[in-house]
């Protein structure tokens, strides 16, 4: 079971989480009310994911709080719900250790996928945010994706099946879910991903996902994550 701490002040968003996960027996929600309140909670519970909320005016305090929380909850992964967040701020939150990003336009499925991806330390950015990224200039894309040196030509080296698997990784899906989607075994998924990592020159799923995003945006193939 995933223990998810919701550090979100907006009552509407808190109720939204309750509605989304109320019938999910694999997720248990905890509530802190605000980022600052997390520091006063007991560390007896090992939270798999901590969901934070921020907007453009709160970015600096949120980054400082995130740094503190990472020290207090060393095994937790972080997800950010962003309202009116400047797209350039995503870079800083990525560097600070946030794995999943959604905004106020995210669907229920996107929020579920974001929590799941964050729990595995996989990168996830909702399609509504990626729409803004895709419309940004190339230098910005270079900044947010510079954690990988893979180029569009590297992505072109992938086989059709490898690219299919990596697109699903980029959507925050687990190996089991990818196997089900592609009607192949988990072992075959792992083989495809291992081969793709070598071709892209990356070490893990997050770097591979960013490489695919870089390629897909260059090809104009739409947003990253479920639509």
Domains of the chain: 2-121 (3.40.50.2300), 138-219 (1.10.10.10)
Tell me the average pLDDT across 46-55: 86
pLDDT at 126: 84
Tell me the average pLDDT across 5-22: 86
pTM: 0.63
- Main-chain dihedrals φ then ψ at residue 209, nearest 5 degrees: -60, -45
Per-residue pLDDT tens over the stretch 76-123: 999 998 876 665 577 678 778 898 999 888 889 989 999 998 998 888
Residues 6+ apart with CB under 8 A from 98: 52, 66, 78, 79, 80
Question: Rounded to whole angstroms, how far apart are CA atoms 112 and 157?
Answer: 32
Partnered with residue 125 across adjacent β-strands are: 101
Question: Rounded to whole angstroms, how far apart are CA atoms 214 and 217?
Answer: 5
- For a pLDDT cut of 70, what percent of the chain falls above it? 71
pLDDT exceeds 80 at position 127: no
How many separate helices (H) and strands (E) can be counted in the chain? 12, 6
Q: Among all chains, which residue has been given the structure tokens 């949120």? A: 62
Confidence of residue 226 (pLDDT cuts 50, 70, 90): very low
CA distances from 120 to 59, 152, 160, 217 (A): 25, 26, 25, 24
């Amino acid at each position: 079971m995933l223990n998810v701490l919701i550090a979100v002040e907006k009552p509407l968003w808190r109720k939204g989480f309750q509605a989304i996960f109320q019938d999910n027996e694999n997720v248990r929600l905890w509530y802190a009310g605000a980022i600052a309140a997390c520091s006063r909670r007991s560390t007896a519970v090992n939270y798999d994911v901590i969901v934070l909320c921020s907007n453009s005016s709160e970015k600096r305090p949120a980054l400082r709080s995130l740094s503190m929380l990472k020290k207090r909850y060393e095994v937790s992964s972080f997800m950010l719900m962003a309202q009116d967040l400047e797209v350039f701020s995503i870079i800083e939150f990525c560097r600070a250790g946030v794995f999943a990003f959604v905004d106020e336009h995210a669907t229920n499925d996107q929020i579920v996928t974001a929590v799941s991806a964050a729990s595995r330390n996989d990168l996830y950015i909702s399609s509504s945010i990626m729409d803004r990224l895709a419309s940004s200039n190339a230098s910005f894309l270079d900044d947010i994706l510079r954690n990988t040196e893979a180029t569009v030509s590297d992505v072109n080296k992938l086989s059709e099946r490898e690219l299919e698997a990596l697109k699903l990784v980029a959507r925050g899906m687990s190996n089991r879910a990818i196997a089900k989607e592609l009607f192949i075994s988990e072992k075959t998924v792992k083989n495809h991903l291992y081969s793709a990592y070598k071709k892209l020159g990356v070490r893990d799923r997050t770097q591979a996902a960013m490489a695919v995003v870089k390629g897909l945006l260059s090809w104009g193939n739409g947003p990253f994550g479920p639509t």
